[in-house]
Structure 1
Amino acid sequence: MRVPDWLLRHRVTIEPYRGDTAYGPSYGPPVADVRALVSATVRQVRRATDGRETTSTAQVITAPGLTCPPGSRLTLPGGRVTTALSTAEHAAPGLPVPACTEVICE
């Protein structure tokens, strides 16, 4: 079971992180109008890249299978641009819990 589309009320734009170059970070082509549920709450989290503690100011829930590696740029519904700290796929086969992808943002 997937998270129902009617719960995903927001739209975000994602530029997938491709790596660092001599000129700075490189991003893939933007994926616009990704259906999401955005929660603007402050939480203490650990970065996926180096394990340091940091503060997350937004969490984004999308349908499962989203490609958004840590370091990707996200444009939230209000126009704020943020960076993905970590991405997690949530699934519970056999249970009545919807599968989704969660992106923790700076």
Structure 2
Amino acid sequence: MNVPGWLMPHRITVEPYAGDGAYGPTYGPREMVAALVVETRKRVHDREGREAVATAQIITAPDLDCPPESRVTLPSGRITRALAVTPYTAPGLPVPQCTEVMCQ
């Protein structure tokens, strides 16, 4: 079971991180995604284990393609990057599956 659509009233744009190129980071094609966005401050660890402060928490569908370092445009128009991405699944249990993205 996935998170119901009515719980995701916001729209964000995700450009999946594809690696570093000769001129800096490269990204995949943009995708508009339904999400629940909460702009809050939390301490998280980035993909290299360093402590960072996230300023936005995003909850979205479990099939989101958003590796750490992806570029995310929030509903406010602010462009940020994904620090930590966590899939939540509970096979066999009657709880919704989702993906949490913590953004810089």
Structure 2 length-normalised TM: 0.96
Residue 7 of structure 1 aligns with an amino acid whose one-letter code is L
* 1:74-99 deviation line (CA, Å, top 9, x unaligned): 00000000000111110112323210
1:55-74 matched pairs, under 5 angstroms: 55-74=53-72
Residue 85 of structure 2 corresponds to which residue in structure 1? 87
Residue 7 of structure 1 corresponds to which residue in structure 2? 7
Q: Which consecutive unaligned segments of at least 5 residues does structure 2 have?
A: none
Residue 46 of structure 1 corresponds to which residue in structure 2? 45
What is the aligned counterpart of 1:97 among 95, 98, 102? 95
CA distance in 2 between partners of 1:94 and 1:29 (Å): 33
Structure 1 length-normalised TM: 0.94
Q: Which consecutive unaligned segments of at least 5 residues does structure 1 have?
A: none
What is the aligned counterpart of 1:78 among 57, 76, 79? 76
Residue 23 of structure 1 corresponds to which residue in structure 2? 23
Asked if the contact 2:44–2:84 (Cα under 8 Å) also holds between the matched residues in 1, the reply is no
CA distance in 2 between partners of 1:91 and 1:78 (Å): 29
Q: Which runs of 4+ in 1 moved over 4 A?
A: none
Shift of residue 30, structure 1, vs aligned partner? 0.7
CA distance in 1 between partners of 2:6 and 2:50 (Å): 35
* 1:14-44 deviation line (CA, Å, top 9, x unaligned): 0010000110000111112x10000111001
